[in-house]
Structure 1
Amino acid sequence: MKLLKRLMWLAVGTLAAGIAAALVLRERPTTEQQSVLKKTPAPNYRQTTFWRLYDRAAEILDRAVGWDKVPTPLGLLMLIGLRNILRQQNLHDTTDEPAINQPPIEPMQSHQLVNRTIDGSYNDLEHPMMGMAGSRFGRNLPLEYTFPEAKPAILNPNPRTVSLELLTREKFQPATTVNILAAAWIQFMVRDWFSHGTSPKDNPWVIELKDDDPWPEHPMKILRVPDDSTRSASSAKLPPTYINTETHWWDASQIYGVDKKIAAFRRSGKDGKLIIGGDGRLILPSDPALNPALVPGWWLGMEMMQTLFTLEHNSICDRLRSEYPDWSDDDVFERARIVNAALIAKIHTVEWTPAIISHPTSQYALRANWWGLEMERLQKLFGRLSDSEVISGIPGSETNHYGIPYSLTEEFTIVYRMHPLIPDDYTFRAIESDETLLDCTFRELAGPHSEEMLQHISLTDAFYSFGSANPGAIILNNFPRFLQNFERPDGYMMDLAATDIMRTRELGVPRYNQFRRLLHLPPASSFEELTGDATLAEKVRRVYNNDLERVDLIVGMFAEKRPAGFAFSETAFRIFILMASRRLNSDRFFTKDFTPQVYTQAGMDWIRDNSMSTVLLRHYPHLASALRGVDNAFTPWPRVV
């Protein structure tokens, strides 16, 4: 500890002057915008003299050198300080203005002490509506910076121009460190975490097009995010807020649903299990209102993940039934549900995220979120050695909201727009021989076509084909062409790249440079610095009319140079290191109720002993030859020969 203090004091003394000179004054909101807002109080988190000096030194060292360019132990110490600052300054509440028009919450029942509710209520027993479906997104930036720009600025530059010039895939650029399962997985996760709901078709954004633009309708229309129906008239001068139709919790709601009707349809009514076809495939409801294949975003990769973890739920039920033969259908279902959700969260934390950001320091940090500094081997041998999340990980530690009611944030929804991961073209191969079975396009895998595809290939071959192929790199000019000309199941045409740009602006997420300043990162000083490529810099400069401050967040994140091993940007990583741990810290089922008394010992063992590879092999054992020697199922699998 003495050595650490000396290091931090040395950093402060030698680097403060240089860093202070590099700081850029932030563009401030208007006086009127500031005057209508209540300031979110800074959480009283690690505010001692030692921690203030520690955090400041971490920030100085990061700006001067970079956490990713120092030895891992020092990089980890720096990330702790950076996360402290983010927890103190980048959690902002949007619920100060009381909500109206909300349905009454059901009275508390005793079984909710140990079971997740379908709508996410009663996770926090003192604030039962926190994080439930139908509650507002929060913010990671001070609210005075989240007012959307007025017209015509909000339409400048034209989002269709940004789409065509800077995002259109010119040539498929692969992300070689991960496989297509990683792309399918993140869409599977997003389906659980958030949705702004179905956009109304009246009053869309109107986007003027050039005469030679091939878009079928001139002008282009981009649907708006639905209004927040819980806002009162007195909120008119406040920044807009929006509703999450999903629960904010990491509760596998994409499998179990967020309302009783969907939940009831998915249950078999026997031994706690979910409905699955005799051929091991999903049975999708005939009711269009319940059929996930008719919701934009469904494709074969989603169906594969949904099937896999439906089967996993049922396997957990078999294990619990053998251990507790007298339990009711409800008892088995509820325990299997929380075990399955926790296993999914573990896989995302210690496998998917370290695969997609494979820098040694970030990999260690993310695994430490789950196991702490004692790491997996010691925890399997001795259990938790401490109540501290740093020493023994977040699961099993104390619940902590860091002074701000828990919610996912609008900034979180934007940094997870990773559509370049999706290839346009796919080759399906047989696991037994590696021979080509089928070549197709993404269009042939999307929506209801996913069901048609599974009439020609097995799920085993589909998983093998995805596991041994690369997704796209998350960079400029690598957006899937199909998604720029996407016909939704209801027939509505979308340029999803233009929509992503417009959605970022509409939700009041600042432009790239301002976003970085508000996350305590230096802004880009030139187009060349942003892109690292003179030709690309000139393209971006032309689209943004030589105004670096107008560069959209998504464009900047896709353009910027990233740490070694990263598939996405350092800018997005700042939201990740804050929110990835917050999703665990705030959820009592991952903290104080992550115990054998709630999960059962059999359930705790299941979470501890399983990984993405063991889940795949349990349900598709013929994948063993492809997974042999693979440490992480989201990294490329060897082709069988």
Structure 2
Amino acid sequence: MIQGAKSFVLLLAVLAACVTAEQADEQPLIFPTEENSTEQPAAALDASADKPRPAPLAKCAGEKEMCKPPAGCALFYADDDEENLQTCILIPANETTNATLGLCCENVLSNRIKQLLLTDDNRDQLSPGYNTGPELGFISAADLSASSDNGKSFTDKLETLEAELKKSGIKVESDTPSAGHLRVFNTTNEARELSLKALRLAAATSALTNRLGLSNPNGELRQVDLQNSRLGESCPPVPVCPVIGGKYRLHDGTCSNPRRSWIGRATSPMQRLLPAHYDDGVQVPRSARDGGPLPSPRLISIQLSTDGHRAPQDRRLTALVADFGQFLDHDLVQSPSFQLRGGGGIQCCSQDGASVLPPHQRHPQCMPIEIPFDDPFFSRFRQGCMNFVRTMPALTHNCSLGAINQMNSVSHWFDGSTIYGSEGQAARNLVGPRGTLLNNGNRGSLALLPAQNGGCTRRRQTENPNFCFVAGDNRVNEQPLISSLHTLLMREHNRVAGILAAMHPEYSDDAVYQETRRIVIAQLQHIAYNEFLPVVLGRRFMETYGLLPLASGHSFDFNPNYDASVTNEFAAAAYRLHTLVRGDLKLSNNAGDSRIPLRDTLNSPQVLLWPDAGDALLSGQCSRPLGAFDHVFSEEMTQHLFQGRGGFGLDILSLNIQRGRDHGLPGYNSYRKLCGLKRARDFADLTDTIRPEALLVLRRIYRSVDDIDLYVGGISERRSSGALLGHTFLCLVGDQFARLKKGDRFFYDLANQPSSFSADQLNEIRKTSLARIICDNSVGVTRLQPLVFWQQDDARNPIVSCDSALIPRMSLEPWIPEVPNT
């Protein structure tokens, strides 16, 4: 482990898009990691709760400390030393009410990174993967032409094969786990056509590699100029940004970086911190170090997550952490799986699931997961194959050759795309009168999302089998808590839009919509960096990365040289927080508590048609413990995911492992080195980070320490002090959120941008909390703890009325003189 005395430097790839993937592999990334796990048994936590609390202070003792509502001290709440948060008198008692107690904490007045390894902004700032390796001296027109012919031949054969598969009826059947999974990865015809062009370039790369005898196509072919070749005809046009204005984001993510307008565009590729690891250098998934196959993901899942029924819990945190984390994930990334032309899922297993389809009937984008014959669960259903289809590859802005890189079908920015969409026409279809978002009318005094027919699963005979919601993201129906958060933010948008429209009757409908969207995105960003990320990353880690939100004033962090695009490592491994998910959903209201098994809720949002069910779900998740972040998953996730008519589902742990291999992620050992640890020579070297019980399993499953999948290694690590994640995932997730904060010219607290808020407006946005959003947009929630990601604490995080000063309200008065610029 890195010792505290060692000087801290920012991880090399964070904010350093100028570093090539090969360079990054040679230079370690170093960041602060504290002592080992902070996890405590339940008895210890209960005992600590019984300790006497010190009396509240009339005035905070520290010179820099102030008495604030709990959300104002959310950054400090995760600190292990509880004495850092002394209670204080926020509002004195009067004749009719008791004193209101706040918390003492410092103002954060700087979010500067303590030390940057790379500070030369004049260097070439191309993203990893765009500029890797020496330029070839000469490639003839004949070579390019031949490789182009090879690429076209590949896609022509693919279309012929797909027609034959459809004719033979080889496709995903309805009401199966694969059909349920497919709905989560629904995509557009436009994305599919872009992906076919990327596959054509991949086939051309393979042909050119063989033709020229190249050893490293990813490095040697990246700089080949395709603009004047037939391959260059596939290149997407460079977005042209508006010359005047720029106060409001474009929905598709373009023009958020003024120097490189394509960065963050929906349907563009993710970037990489390390070069892709494919056996052929282009797209064939990696083998084990000894040349044999890697162990089956399902075999790993069986042996690693051996106690799923136990569902370990984190008693400090609430289950809402997992739900908000998933909502945030949907805002940042969607990796669409390949589908048949004209729609329909690709089937990789025999119809009975007993075996993999033979090669002549198997789509080239199939990557099925082998299920061991003695599987303790799936063998009961005679399942030997789990369907898995590869993620669509994407075109780079310059159509470069080299290894495939996977598509992000939504905008890469933290821009509320879950609410508003990542495509212009789809976004316009969600807008109602006076800048509001469409809804299906009032139910329980508050509106629900618009309804659509088709695509959702019938779970109960009395429910509408076709009922689904419509939102900015097509995963809105994945599970009811996601639907509830979508509903909550739609209501918040309409609440703010109603106030703005009344304040400014002269505003056009579009002006009301755009200004409201700008405010709601800012609220979401503040909640994420002020409340959510301190739970996941820890305050001290955030401080070193410069991620702390300021208590006052503006920041000056934006640097157009930073590439904020989502990294493949983040999307395909580090931010897959499924181990946090509990096996059921809890509803809490005046009638009591009830639970619904997770298998009965996926792609089945009909529960929200019950009166005030969304409020009851949010209340329930705010009052129950979070699942622990470790290698143990709920059996609802490893046996019943998207369960169909057969009584079994998919296994999320197996899918995540296979997804990492599909995306060409190098092994866990490579990321240890990238994140500042020594590369392990053998399994014994992993004792510094891996839990002992997990290490025993890894020794048994993998033949080499270099074979360990990144996802498996990451979930097997001990938690870093003050954080939810272990060393390596902390590094990779921290990297991504640093990019999103410092590479986005629209980030909410920035100064000197067309989109910048005034000082007074920014102060009001800082009053935002998820508790306030819930209180303002719910009927059934009238009392709540101010910090909803933390379990209620009578002294520091008490259950209070929604009218309490401990859950401050944001005022829109500073927007009275606002002049929209659309």
Q: Work out whether residues 775 and 781 of structure 2, in 8 Å CA contact, stay in contact via their aligned partners in 1.
A: yes
> CA offsets, 1:229-251, max 9 Å, x none?
5599972xx23212211111111
Answer whether contact 1:585 1:591 (CA < 8 A) is retained: no
For residues 574 and 86 of structure 1, do their structure 2 counterparts lie closer, same or farther at Cα, with a shift above 3 Å needed?
farther
Counterpart of 1:186 (choices 325, 333, 337) is 325
Q: What code does the residue aligned with 1:361 have?
A: R
> Counterpart in 2 of 1:634?
789
* Cα contact 2:449–2:470 (8 A) shared by 1: no
- CA separation in 2, counterparts of 1:67 and 1:419? 20
More displaced stretch, 136-145 vs 173-182: 136-145
The one-letter amino acid paired with 1:248 is H
> Cα distance 1:125–1:609, how it changes in 2: closer, same or farther (>3 A)?
same
Q: Does the CA contact (< 8 Å) of 1:194 and 1:244 recur in 2?
A: yes
Q: Which amino acid aligns with 1:219?
A: C
Q: Are 2:689 and 2:727, in contact at CA under 8 Å, matched by a contact in 1?
A: no
Deviations 1:478-506 (A, max 9, x none): 24434543238999963221110011122
In structure 1, the residue corresponding to 2:494 is in which secondary structure?
A: helix
Alignment of 1:104-115 (within 5 A): 104=237, 107-109=240-242, 113-115=246-248
Amino acid at match of 2:718: K
Which among 617, 622, 630 is matched to residue 462 of structure 1? 617
Instruction: Name the structure 2 match of 1:351.
Output: 531
How much does 1:209 deviate?
A: 2.9
Secondary structure (helix, strand or coil) at the match of 2:387 reads: strand
- Structure 2: which amino acid aligns with 1:164? I
Indicate if the aligned counterparts of 1:194 and 1:247 stay in contact, CA closer than 8 A: yes
Change in Cα spacing, 1:607 to 1:183, as seen in structure 2 (3 Å) is same
TM-score normalized by the length of structure 1:
0.76
Asked if the contact 2:587–2:613 (Cα under 8 Å) also holds between the matched residues in 1, the reply is: no
2:452 aligned with 1:285: yes
Equivalent residue number for residue 587 of structure 2: 428
Among candidates 418, 423, 428, match of residue 577 of structure 2: 418
Which structure: larger Rg?
A: 2
Contact 1:100–1:230 (CA under 8 A) maintained in structure 2: no
Q: Distance in 1 between matches of 2:424 and 2:20?
A: 38
Q: Structure 1 residue 246 and structure 2 residue 410: aligned?
A: yes
CA deviations over 1:22-45 (Å, ceiling 9, x no partner): xxxxxxxxxxxxxxxx956979xx
Counterparts of 1:434-445 in structure 2, within 5 Å, are 435-436=592-593, 438-445=594-601
For 2:21 and 2:706, how far apart are their aligned partners in 1? 26
Q: CA deviation at 1:576?
A: 2.7
CA deviation string 1:187-237 (max 9, x = no partner): 1111110112133323311333332332654333321111335599972xx
* Equivalent residue, structure 2, for 1:370: 549
Question: Within 2, Cα distance between the matches of 1:78 and 1:233?
Answer: 37
AA at the equivalent of 1:120: G
- Between the aligned partners of 2:633 and 2:679, the Cα distance in structure 1 is 24
In the other structure, the counterpart of 1:23 is none
- Cα offset, 1:124, TM superposition: 2.0
- Given that 1:272 and 1:330 are in contact with CA atoms closer than 8 Å, whether structure 2 keeps it comes out as no
Report if the CA contact (8 A) 1:295-1:489 is conserved: no
Q: Which whole-Å deviations, capped at 9, do the CAs of 1:457-489 have from their partners, x for residues lacking one?
A: 532222111100122112112244345432389
Aligned equivalents of 2:80 and 2:369: distance in 1? 46
> Are 2:629 and 1:474 equivalent residues in the alignment?
yes
Q: Check whether the contact 1:399–1:592 (CA below 8 A) recurs between aligned residues.
A: no
> What residue number does 1:612 align with?
770
In the other structure, the counterpart of 2:11 is none
Distance 1:70 1:80 in 2: 23
Match of 1:101 in 2: 234
**Partner SS state of residue 227, structure 1:** coil
Relative to 1, partners in 2 of residues 1:70 and 1:634: Cα closer, same or farther, differing over 3 Å?
closer
Instruction: Give the helix-richer structure, 1 or 2.
Output: 1
Q: Match of 1:178, SS?
A: strand
1:93-145: CA deviation from partner (whole Å, max 9, x where unpaired): 23455776355466444565111111111112332222111211111225689
Aligned to 1:397: 556
Q: Distance in 1 between matches of 2:421 and 2:770?
A: 22
The structural deviation recorded for 1:67 is: 13
Match of 2:717 in 1: 560
Please say if residues 413 and 564 of structure 2, whose CA atoms lie closer than 8 Å, have aligned partners that are also in contact: no
Corresponding position: 1:583 with 2:618: no
**How do 1:31-430 residues align onto structure 2 when only pairs under 5 Å count?**
39=20, 80=113, 84=117, 92-96=127-131, 97=222, 101-104=234-237, 107-109=240-242, 113-142=246-275, 149-151=285-287, 155-167=293-305, 169-200=308-339, 201=346, 202-203=363-364, 204-213=366-375, 214=378, 217-229=383-395, 235=401, 238-275=402-439, 277-279=441-443, 280-286=447-453, 291=470, 295=475, 298-358=478-538, 361-362=540-541, 369-371=548-550, 376=551, 379=552, 383-384=553-554, 396-401=555-560, 403=561, 405-413=563-571, 414-430=573-589
The alpha-carbon distance between structure 1 residues 489 and 606, as it changes in their structure 2 partners (threshold 3 A), is farther
The alpha-carbon distance between structure 1 residues 460 and 207, as it changes in their structure 2 partners (threshold 3 A), is closer
| Contact 1:119 1:258 (8 Å CA) reproduced | yes
Q: In structure 2, do the counterparts of structure 1 residues 320 and 294 end up closer, same or farther at CA, with 3 Å as the change threshold? A: closer
For 2:430 and 2:452, locate their aligned partners in 1 and report how far apart those are by CA, in whole Å.
Answer: 9
Alpha-carbon distance, 1:593 to partner: 6.2
Q: Indicate how the Cα distance of structure 1 residues 592 and 542 shifts in structure 2: closer, same or farther if over 3 A, else same.
A: closer
Query: Match for 1:369: what amino acid?
Result: L
Question: Per-residue deviation at 1:356?
Answer: 3.1
Please name the residue that 2:659 is paired with: 503
Structure 1 range deviating more: 170-179 or 587-596: 587-596
Q: How far does residue 420 in structure 1 lie from its aligned partner after superposition?
A: 1.1
User: Structure 2 CA distance, aligned partners of 1:487 and 1:225?
Assistant: 19
Indicate the larger mover: 588-597 or 511-520: 588-597
Query: Does the 8 A contact of 1:91 with 1:404 survive in 2?
Result: no
AA aligned to 1:285 is Q
Cα distance between partner residues in 1 of 2:751 and 2:440: 29
Say whether the 8 Å CA contact 2:301–2:653 is kept in structure 1: yes
**Residue segments in structure 2 that go unaligned for 5+ positions in a row:** 9-18, 39-78, 85-105, 132-221, 227-231, 340-345, 347-362, 456-467, 801-822
Aligned CA distance change for structure 1 residues 416 and 41 (closer, same or farther; 3 Å): closer
In structure 2, the CA distance between the partners of 1:257 and 1:471, relative to structure 1 (3 Å rule), is: same
Matched pairs, number? 563
**Deviation string for 1:248-277 (max 9, x for gaps)?**
111110110111332122111324444353
Residue 481 of structure 1 aligns to a residue whose secondary structure is: helix
State TM-score, norm by structure 2: 0.60
Residue 516 of structure 1: how far off its partner (Å)? 0.7
Q: Distance in 2 between matches of 1:341 and 1:369?
A: 18
- Return 85-94 or 309-318, whichever deviates more: 85-94
In structure 2, what is the Cα distance between the partners aligned to 1:305 and 1:64? 33
C-alpha RMSD of matched pairs (Å): 4.4
Offset of residue 350 of structure 1: 1.0
